[in-house]
Amino acid sequence: MLLSTLLLGLLSGVAGQTATSSAFDALATRPSSVLGNATAFVDAKFHPPSGPVKVTGMLQDGLGIFLGIPFAQPPVGDLRFKKPVPASYEKHIMATERPPACLQQLGSVAANVSGISEDCLFVNVITPANAVGEGCKLKDLPVLVWIYGGGFYGGSAVLYTSPSLSSHALNSGKPIVLVTIGYRVGIFGFGHGREMRANGALNLGLRDQLLGLQWVKDNIAGFGGDPCKVTIFGESAGSMSVSAHMLNQTQDLFRGAIMQSGTVTSLGGFGDDTVYQEPYDKLVEFAGCNGTESSFLCLKALSGEDLLAAQVEMTSSKFAYTWGYPFGPAIDGDLIPASPYHMIENGTFSKIPFIAGCNSDEGTTFISASLSPNLTAWPLSTAMEIAYPFPLPQEFYDRIGGFYPRDGTGCPFNSGTDLFNGSVSAAWKQVTAVFTDLLMESRRRWLLRTANGHGLNQTWSYEFRGYSPPDPPYWGSSHEADKPYVFGRAVPELGYSPDQVALGKAMMDYWINFVYCLDPNGEGDSGLAHWPTHDFPTNKNSLEMDIGSLKVIQDDFREQSMAYINEPQNAFYIRKRDM
């Protein structure tokens, strides 16, 4: 009702990510230019059922980089809206070109992808050069598999193939095999609605990820990896995907998990068909499929470009849709058989070691996409109605406002009452604080404590407080700000200070240790600050990762407010709509 007051120029539900994304993508795109000048090549070989396949990649700084290896048949034509089918192979694959991202709206969460295509189900592998080929000296290396974020409607696997993380691991004496997996997004991979359900077209993006993980299990030995030592990690929607895969108690595709900003009970889906039918019907309307005998078959018959255009029109027709909420995982009775909340609450999940953390000011990114930093007049409920895609009762706002007063505190949480020389208002800081805890922090805390309650005590919590230029200072430690640090992009060339560079190296070391030992402390030989486990209620240990400081804190900040958010009877939409 107040959409006319908003600036809707950016269609991305996380349009506020553009500053951090620009910093990250500046080096994420380096492989194409660096590898384009490569003169040395390296071969690997894997053995699918059809017979051995030689893969030629490129050699760079002691690493073999293999781009665009298909793991599934192109999901086009009759295979659109179907579960992925394993790829068929020729005897030789040239894996030297950046593969396209899956069809998505460019200029949003994937501004720098190297083209888009419906034929997009590829893996990229970075491994030590002496772990492949004849006479290789390294084998049985631990494997780290990345699942990218992007709100389930954007993102790209190839953006994460810059060799910085792998080079750091190699130079530190703990080489790894890094894999990134492409998966379908938006209507192509995460559509909702009765028609999608009736045709078995739910959760296709998650199924793409699973087939990619199966490819890793079957073939990663040919790249020097140990299929029994796989850790999966992801950020945002990728982190939510990681925890979704943990719902399978009997899975044998990975032994550890790292979740960066998001769990399966965070924003991103699990509503029933009555909630998600409206955006499907809107998309059908914009696609010109109204009145057809089968809207599903009509959508399936469209060109990829026309279907994407209809999706873009649909998401721009209502601000709540721009969050990407029409797309995401769903309860399908199979891959996700029941409410993820109840499954975890009842202990129905894979009891594997995991790390889960958040950035301290996640909400600033999201709110910057929808509300002016100078917001002053609106009550919390009005602002949330615009920025948050699901209705919450007035009772919730009355109570939550007491926990997050409009007094200038809030996000960034370490800024006191600072309004950054008038750049933001007290009202804006209040809304961003609520968002941070509603979507991310409360979900992380609940997952850790619930897992501990079911006897899983190999869990580690962290709170990231770093900053990524060129984000504005009032964003604080915003959503995505951790990625440059984890992937080795926190470098002086992009404006990072020596302390920030050091923080990035520490985070990479923790992550690499976890891949090796299922413990971020490794064997105590890395010189890192000790990171104790989180084992509620005995302790609430969490590692605060700040610029110039690594210290253990207790994860009890904003205890009362997050306890309220986590109450089962609360109308917080995820609990309300998937129960």
* Residues annotated as catalytic (active site), given as ranges: 236, 362, 479
C-alpha angle 471-476-477 in degrees, rounded to nearest 5: 95
Asked if omega into 86 is within 30° of 0 (cis), the reply is no
- CA distance linking residue 195 with residue 281, whole number of Å: 10
- In terms of Cα–Cα distance, which of 248, 269, 245 is closest to 258? 245
- CA distance linking residue 211 with residue 488, whole number of Å: 28
Q: Regarding beta strands 541-546 and 549-554, do their DSSP bridges make them parallel or antiparallel, or are they unpaired?
A: antiparallel
> Which pair of tokens denotes residue 9?
């120029």
Residues contacting 361, CB < 8 A, separation 6+: 411, 412, 413, 432, 436, 475, 476, 477, 478
- Let me know if 229 is exposed, middle or buried by CB neighbors in 10 A (0-12, 13-18, 19+): buried
Give exposure, 115-125, as e/b (b: 16+ Cβ within 10 Å). Answer: ebebbbbbbbb
3-state per-residue secondary structure call for 366-427: HHHCCCCCCCCCCCHHHHHHHHCCCCCCHHHHHHHHHHCCCCCCCCCCCCCCCCCCCCCCHH
Q: Regarding beta strands 41-46 and 53-60, do their DSSP bridges make them parallel or antiparallel, or are they unpaired?
A: antiparallel
Give 5's DSSP letter. G
Decide if 266 contacts 443 (C-beta within 8 A): yes
Angle of the 237-245 helix axis to the 204-219 helix axis, nearest 10: 70
Decide if 500 contacts 516 (C-beta within 8 A): no
3-state DSSP call for residue 451? helix
Write the DSSP string, 114-183: S-EES---EEEEEEEGGGSSTT----SEEEEEEE--STTS---SGGG--THHHHHHHHTT---EEEEE--
Residues contacting 228, CB < 8 A, separation 6+: 255
Overall size of the chain counted in residues? 579
Write the DSSP string, 461-485: EEEE----TTS-GGG-S-TTTTHHH
Give exposure, 553-567, as e/b (b: 16+ Cβ within 10 Å). Answer: eebebbeebbebbbe
- CA distance linking residue 160 with residue 178, whole number of Å: 10
Name the strand (E) or helix (H) holding 234: strand 225-235
